[in-house]
Amino acid sequence: MCIGTETDLAKNRTFHITTFGCQMNEHDSEIMAGMLAEKGYEPVNTRDEADIVIFNTCSIRENADKRFFGTLGQLKHRKLEEREAFTVCVCGCMMQQQHIIDTLKSKYPWVDIVFGTHNLHQLPILLDNLYNENKKQIEVWQDGGEIVEGLPAKRLFKHKSFVNIMYGCNNFCSYCIVPYTRGRERSRRPEDIVTEVRKLASDGVKEITLLGQNVNSYRGCGEKCETDFTDLIYMLSEIDGIERIRFMTSHPKDLSDKLIDAFRNCDKLCKYIHLPVQAGSNDVLKAMNRKYTRESYLKLVKKIRTAVPSIAISTDIIVGFPGETEKDFEDTLDLAREVGYDSAFTFLYSIRQGTPAAKRTDQIPEEIKHQRFNRLVEVINSISAEKNREYRGTTQMVLADGVSRSKEGTYEGRTDSFKLVNFVGEPGLEGKIIPVKITDSNTFSLTGERE
């Protein structure tokens, strides 16, 4: 068989990546797109146009699993018809679970390439191997090994970027699959992060979002292991061109006073924090292995609000964790009201094979879960609408992301506090931070005019 060169192999081949799940996955997809573009593969906007289709999967809830298999199944006909001319690759969190690999092998044997979260940097090699050897490639690493640095990324936006600062999670919340799919915590070296952000700034990036499952336990080892998360924020804030720094996600048990001070002392650190509470009942929090109580969480929120009164706070809440009683659920409703969240992501508890909570025999019936979920959403939405109303008549600095998808002739952007704003303004504002007068608001967004 003739062995092609890299450029030969990529020649005229187009690709499309479908991403399921969180920002981590979105950023992984940007890196895969960057690697492929560097090899000469060409991105296209739809799966139908693509010679190579890649699914970057999520395993956080059962819905994500189902959606993936549903969408994958739709490609079978095309794959069997076009054979070598069409390549199907699957990767991401689901691939780190043996039962998923087994299902793929038995029910979707026509998939060409399978790889996991720990070896996504191998995608170009796996493609080369597939085309050279004409042989299916299944390569899933069980753990992370050395962090691979210097991978290119093809960003969705010119002016803002995700930056991974750490990988994995050590917390083992009893409902969560992430520690099993993403492995143990590993922090990148601070100097590698600084180099990446300097490069982003020189490319015109103004806003960075630092990503990790639990950024508060970042511990960067350079010469010595002494850079904590707040130190890293201060280091990055010194980079010219970077005007906004955000981060995701913070575990309440690890949030330091030093970080709270940084919200006051570092102008570039946006006044917004995502602080997942998951539940408002101490019994449920304990069973979830969250390692804080309702009282300590509320105290933390108070401390943050005292330090930075204008800060916006969002959260994640799971409804219907095994054993959750009506009283437990009411504690959650109560806590949501007491905190007064700007917004919340609400989830129905979903059994994840291999996690401790999946083995519990006191699972909550679907019907009750749904009823509670609807009640929670109603409470959350009315608080969000109220919080947004407070913005009416104020002027906010908004980073214009681009033209709005929902309303013609308007821009979409974010305030420092991460509120979505639709506003009218002259052409050419994309990527600029500009004052916007807020004229109206609803549950999920604000409306305004360029001031």
- Token pair belonging to 262: 């940084």
Site string for ligand 5AD, 309-328 (x = CB under 6 A): -------x-x----------
DSSP assigned state of 207: E
User: Based on CB atoms, which residue is closest to ligand 5AD, 26 or 38?
Assistant: 26
Choose, by CB under 6 A, the member of 31, 32, 35, 60 that binds ligand 5AD: 60
Q: Rounded to 5 degrees, what angle do the CA atoms 157, 346, 368 make?
A: 155
Min dist CB 275 to ligand 5AD, Å, is 10
Choose, by CB under 6 A, the member of 175, 247, 292, 329 that binds ligand 5AD: 175
Q: Which residue is nearest to ligand 5AD (CB)?
A: 316
Stretch that binds ligand SF4, among 22-30, 151-159, 166-174, 291-299 (CB under 6 A): 166-174
Residue 329 lies near ligand 5AD (rule: CB under 6 A): no
Residue 374's CB is within 10 A of a number of other CB atoms, namely: 11
Min dist CB 348 to ligand SF4, Å, is 15
> Long-range CB contacts (< 8 A, 24+ apart) of 323-330?
323/283, 323/284, 323/287, 323/360, 323/362, 323/364, 324/279, 324/281, 324/284, 324/349, 324/364, 324/372, 325/281, 327/281, 328/279, 328/280, 328/281, 328/283, 328/284, 329/281, 329/372, 329/375, 329/376
**Partner from ligand 5AD, ligand SF4, none binding residue 251, C-beta < 5-8 Å depending on class:** ligand SF4
Residue 21 lies near ligand 5AD (rule: CB under 6 A): no
Residue 347 lies near ligand 5AD (rule: CB under 6 A): yes
Q: Tell me which residue has tokens 């959350």.
A: 380
Choose, by CB under 6 A, the member of 55, 341, 349, 411 that binds ligand 5AD: 349
Residue 169 lies near ligand SF4 (rule: CB under 6 A): yes
User: Based on CB atoms, which residue is closest to ligand 5AD, 122 or 278?
Assistant: 278
Residue 149's CB is within 10 A of a number of other CB atoms, namely: 12
Torsion angle in degrees (nearest 10) through CA of 285, 286, 292, 296? 70
Residue 179 lies near ligand SF4 (rule: CB under 6 A): yes
CB 154 within 8 A of CB 17: no
Closest CA to 234 of 206, 193, 200: 193
Footprint of ligand SF4 on residues 250-279 (CB under 6 A)? 251
DSSP assigned state of 252: G
User: Based on CB atoms, which residue is closest to ligand 5AD, 15 or 321?
Assistant: 321
- Report how far apart the first and last C-alpha atoms of the chain are (Å, whole number): 65
Sites of contact with ligand 5AD (CB under 6 A): 60-61, 175-176, 276, 278, 316, 318, 347, 349-350, 352
